[in-house]
Amino acid sequence: MIKKISRDICLIKYRKFPLCEFDKKMDEDICYFPKINSSYWLKLGDNSESKLTLEIASLIKKLNIEKLIFMSERNQKWISKSTQNRKDSEPLTNAIEYFKNHKIEKKFNGGVKVGNEELSRFLENFYTLTKCDGGFFDFNFIDKNENYLFYIHYSGELKVLTLNENANQSFLKIIKETKFVDSMRENTNRIK
Closest Cα partner for 5 from 76, 71, 101, 80? Answer: 71
Q: Is residue 10 part of a domain?
A: yes
How many domains does the chain contain in total? 1
Instruction: Write the DSSP assignment of 6-18 as a string of letters.
Output: -HHHHHHH-TTS-
Q: Is residue 80 part of a domain?
A: yes
**Rounded average pLDDT over 60-73:** 97
Q: Is residue 88 part of a domain?
A: yes
Percentage of the chain exceeding pLDDT 70: 99
Edge-first strand listing for the sheet containing 158-162: 2-5, 111-115, 67-72, 139-143, 148-152, 158-162, 38-44, 180-182
Which residue range is the domain that position 102 belongs to? 2-182
Q: Is residue 192 part of a domain?
A: no
User: pLDDT tens digits, residue range 31-51?
Assistant: 999 999 999 999 998 767 779
CA distance 16 to 32: 9
Q: What are phi and psi of 17, to 5 degrees?
A: -70, 135
Q: Is residue 33 part of a domain?
A: yes
pLDDT of 135 reads: 84
Q: Is residue 125 part of a domain?
A: yes
Q: Is residue 126 part of a domain?
A: yes
pTM of the model: 0.94
Q: Is residue 87 part of a domain?
A: yes
Q: How high does pLDDT run on average in the chain? A: 94
pLDDT of 81 reads: 87
